[in-house]
């Protein structure tokens, strides 16, 4: 199925004005996003769907499981969660939506120095919200090694 008209379990046909509208389907709001005149809106909708076929999915750009936008937009939202990173009712992925990529935390100069690496492991987990497993996978070490490094750092701080 390469053409939207072939998607039999889709609302495409009715929304595009190609098939009869099922009684449970409401298309007015969707079409209003494409124009105020129904025939023009249907044509614009068909073009929109056709232009999106074969294009990389927009869902790959979603950050924090719910945010779609560029860096400036995400930065503006991070102000809302600043100071709330320890509130468990806010999903962890959203509390740390603006975290730097692990490749930026663990640059080559950090990886060459074990003390810097271990300090960066703590930052990645506690300041940026990465899981120990994510850090371990990125560093290609066992997750228990990350746990041991964090425990050793904690013990040093409590002495």
Q: Who contacts 127 (Cβ-Cβ below 8 Å, separation ≥6)?
A: none
User: Same domain, yes or no, for 19 and 67?
Assistant: no
Can you give the pLDDT of all 159 residues of the chain as single tens digits? Answer: 578 988 888 999 999 999 998 999 999 999 999 999 999 999 999 999 999 988 988 888 777 667 787 778 877 776 666 666 667 777 777 777 778 899 999 999 999 999 999 999 999 998 888 999 999 999 999 999 999 999 987 777 666
Token reading at 26:
């409401």
User: Same domain, yes or no, for 50 and 63?
Assistant: no
Q: Who contacts 153 (Cβ-Cβ below 8 Å, separation ≥6)?
A: 118, 119, 122
pTM, two decimals, is 0.53
User: Same domain, yes or no, for 50 and 13?
Assistant: yes
User: Same domain, yes or no, for 149 and 133?
Assistant: yes
For residue 12, the enclosing domain spans: 4-55
Say how many domains are in the chain.
3
Backbone dihedral angles phi then psi of residue 16, each to the nearest 5 degrees: -80, -5
DSSP-assigned letter for residue 58: G
Closest CA to 73 of 61, 57, 83: 61
């Amino acid at each position: 199925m390469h053409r939207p008209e072939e998607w039999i379990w889709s609302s495409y046909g009715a929304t595009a004005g190609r098939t009869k509208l099922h009684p449970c389907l409401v298309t007015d709001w969707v079409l209003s996003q494409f124009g105020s005149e129904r025939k023009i809106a249907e044509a614009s909708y068909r073009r929109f769907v056709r232009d999106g076929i074969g294009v990389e999915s927009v869902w790959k750009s979603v950050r924090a499981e719910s945010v779609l936008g560029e860096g400036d937009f995400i930065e503006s939202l991070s102000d809302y969660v600043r100071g709330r990173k320890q509130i468990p009712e806010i999903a962890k992925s959203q509390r740390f939506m603006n975290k730097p990529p692990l490749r930026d935390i663990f640059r080559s100069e950090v990886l060459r120095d074990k003390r810097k690496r271990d300090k960066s492991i703590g930052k990645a987990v506690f300041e940026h919200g990465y899981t120990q497993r994510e850090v371990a996978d990125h560093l290609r070490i066992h997750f228990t090694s990350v746990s041991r490094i964090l425990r050793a750092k904690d013990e040093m701080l409590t002495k």
